[in-house]
Each structure stands twice: as structure tokens, then as C-alpha cells.
Amino acid sequence: MPWISETAAGISRENMLEILEAAVAEAKKRICGAPKRVLLLPPDITRMHSGAGWITEALYDLLSPEADVHVIPTLGQHEPHTPAQNRQMFGGIPEDRIHAHDWRRGVAAVGEIGADFVKEVSGGAVDWPIPIFLNDQLWREKWDIIINVGHVVPHEVLGFANHNKNYFIGLGGKDTICAAHMMAAVCGIENNLGNLLTPVRQCFNKAEDEMLGHLPDFYIQVVLARNAEGRLVHTGVHIGDDLETYLSAARQARDENIAILETPLDKVVCVMQGDEFFSTWVANKAVYRTRMALADGGELLILAPGLKRFGEQPEVDAFIRKYGYVGTERVMSQYRENAEMQDLAHATAHLIHGSSEGRFKITYAPGHLSQAEVEGVNFSYASLEEMTARYSVSNLSEGFHHTADGERFYFIPTPSAGLWATRERLFQRESGFGADVG
């Protein structure tokens, strides 16, 4: 059931609150008329720009007068929120109702997607099974309604976030996350981005059908796009309890969130907001979402005032510092014989995703990392102060601009909110790695 804005202004907050009331009524109608225990599954703070935080707070306010409502941010392997971040993201939801996902110790074994199916949907590229581990509270406790809140946007592993990604990545265990991310890396990031049904998505859809049928779940999926003033606004809300809820949102995101360029870009400047992106683990979305638009020999400059580490956990941070972003060939040659890389396969996949494969230059201008640290992982370094002064991005809209001395660059204010690609790279990808629908 979609609500799609008919104007470029998007869906107002007032209208969004009305839609959320209707969504709650629909969830009660389909699943449980008088819920006593409700679980809300929103994204974490790295997607704060989606509005999912205040949407979750609104759902809590609608449901808490009659039900015991709990929230588990779908962190995946991201760092748990601090109490201050919970307030920043979720407003007035009581802290004792917000629970951190523990991807190592807080999960239960659910099942497995067999190697034969994995091999089939990956066109023979991957031949290992995907074990399914899910959050203990989700799996073992009794819930009357589970509401997944998600921002559907192009994604490097699943083609488009969100939907059942909330379960299998956001609330997944280490083995699930590692196997799925490595599968996506082997299939190729540029074969995943912007496809409705990637190999990993097909595995997750099968897992949902076969293993999660008893869960009383419901999806509220939002789509955002930039309005005429360049501001991100909600343009669609898709609700329901089936795969079509995801597909309808992904089709809209495909139409609104992919910028198709006729010629490659020689210089891209973008900003990863300082209150959302603290590690290259998530700030590298700037690399993922622009790589199909960058020219061979071009440069991506990432202004990252909040950047203070590489990984979300100390061991992954140390891992990235040790091996660096050195490209698929070098990573895979080590992976086959390296027990550490196999144990932290999700981080190994991240090294592949975050490399330009030597095709273009990646330059970080970080708020808190030194030049030696940035160059130590195979990125180039620039001064944040100098680059902020040179490119003066605070008031720029997306598109082409010039510096005072005439350098031409393409500015992207929020690369995590879309995908940029040349027509050639988007439509001439390797076949056999992803099915598309509609």
C-alpha cells in the first residue's frame, strides 16, 4: 500500500503523521487488533537523515498507551548508540525501552540457506551456505506486532536497502553478516548497486519465506528525494507485510534516487555529515554510491568532519589499518590462505567494496584522523580546513560548480541517499548476478 507524493515538495510531516496512524491501523487489522507487546525495528543513527528516528518516536507514541513497546535499532555490526545518540535519533522514547543489538553474543541459530541455492543465484560465483542467526529478543520473545521501519535507497550489498535487511543484517549474527557480505563482494559491488533482486537479496527472501513466517511483522518503508531547493524530503511511504512492499518502494527509489550521467565525472566532492558518519566503514558509502560515475583517473574528495576511525569495532578498526583498501585481486589472494580474513569476512568484503581498484583516486579530508593514518589504509589525505575553504560547499546544491581558480567539480551533499552512475556503467553490467523485477 503506497503513498507517493504528487508534488516536488514531498510529504509534509503533518501528512506523514497521518500516514503513520493509518499504517498502525492497517498493522492491527492484518496482524493483531489489540497488541500488548510491540517491537519497533528502525535503522541506526547512520540513517538519521531518513527521518526514521522521528518516525519511530511517532510510532512509539501511537502504540505505547495500549502496549509495552520496545525498540531495537538494527545496528548490524555498527557501534551501539550512546544514550545521547538515542535521544538524538529517537527523541523522547525512554532509554530503558531501547536495546542494543549484540551481533556476537546476543543471537540465536535459526537455519541455513544451502550452498546449492547460493551457487544458483550467484551464477556459480559463490558456493558456500549462508547460516542464519538472528537477535535473541526478536527470536525468543513473544511479540504481538513487529514493525520494521526502513529507508529504501540504492545499496552495495542488497541492491536496495531495506525491508528484510533489517533482520538478516541489522539484527543478524556474525556468521550471517560475514557470509552475506563476502558473497556480495565476490559478485561485484557494481553488479549489486541499483538491482532490485541481487543474489544476497534472493537468499534473504528465501530465508524470510522459509524461516520467519511465524513472525507478526509489518513493514513501513520510506523513500526520499531532493526537492527543488535541494533538500531531502519524503516522497513515498510503502506499507505492508509482503515482498511487494519492498519492490514497490525499490522501484520508486530506482526512479528517484539514481542519477544517470551521460559522461563520467573527473572530480566529485561530497560531504559525509559529522553527526552521522564516524568511521570509513559507513563513510565509504561515498565511494560505493559514486564509483559508477567517476572517470578513470578521476578523483573523489570526501569531506568527513566526524571521521575518527576506520572500523565500527576495535578489532575491525585494527583489521582495516593492517590490510588497507588495496583492491579485489590483492585481498582475495590473501583471503584464501588467511585465517584472520576468513574469520572477519565481512571486513574483508568491506576492503573490496571500499577500493577504487586503482581506477580513480579516493581522498579523505577527515575531522580527526591524521595524514599517516589515512594514507596507511591506501587513501589519499587532504586537510579538512583547507578543502572546506577551497570548495565552500555549505551552500552548494548538487551539480557542477567551479572553485575561485576555475577548477570544475561535481558536488554531492549526501551520497548515502542515492546512486550516481553513467548510463554505460549502469546498463552494461555483467549479467547473471542479479534478477530485476519491473
Which triple of cell numbers denotes residue 208? Answer: 524470510
Task: Decide: residue 214, CB within 10 A, 0-12 exposed, 13-18 middle, 19+ buried.
Answer: exposed
Q: What share of the chain is helix, strand, coil (3-state, %, to 5)?
A: 40, 25, 35
* Residues 48-90: tens digit of each pLDDT: 889 999 999 999 999 999 999 999 999 998 889 999 999 999 9
Q: Cβ distance 412 to 420 under 8 Å?
A: yes
Q: Which residues of the chain have pLDDT under 50?
A: 431-432
Residue 326 exposed, middle or buried by CB count within 10 Å (0-12, 13-18, 19+): middle
The H or E element spanning position 381 is strand 380-381
Bridge partners of 140, per DSSP, are none
What residue ranges define each of the domains in the chain, with the CATH number in brackets? 2-258 (3.40.50.11440), 262-427 (3.90.226.30)
- Residue matched to cell numbers 500500500: 1
Torsion, Cα of 159, 179, 127, 247 (10° steps) = -20
Q: What DSSP state is assigned to residue 308?
A: -
Please give the Cα distance from 426 to 284 (Å, whole number): 20
CA distance 278 to 275: 8
Q: What is the pLDDT of residue 205?
A: 96
Query: Are the CB atoms for 254 and 223 separated by under 8 Å?
Result: no
Q: Which DSSP category does 52 fall into?
A: H
Whole-number pLDDT of residue 432: 46
C-alpha to C-alpha distance for 416 and 162, rounded to whole angstroms: 13
Which residues, including other chains, have CB under 8 Å from residue 370's CB and lie 6 or more apart?
none
As a whole number of angstroms, the distance between CA 282 and CA 228 comes to: 27
pLDDT of residue 434: 52
Q: Which of the 8 DSSP states describes residue 48?
A: G
CA 392 to centroid of chain Cα atoms: 28
Phi, psi of 285 (to 5 degrees): -55, -25
Q: 385-395 pLDDT, tens per residue?
A: 999 999 999 88
pLDDT reported for residue 436: 57
- Grid cell, residue 111, equals 537455519
Q: Which among 78, 77, 94, 76 is positioned nearest to 86, based on CA atoms?
A: 94
- Return the pLDDT at 431: 47
Cα 120 to the center of its chain, rounded Å: 25
Residues facing residue 160 across a β-bridge: 154
**pTM, full prediction:** 0.89
The answer to whether residues 239 and 23 touch, using CB atoms and an 8 Å cutoff, is: yes
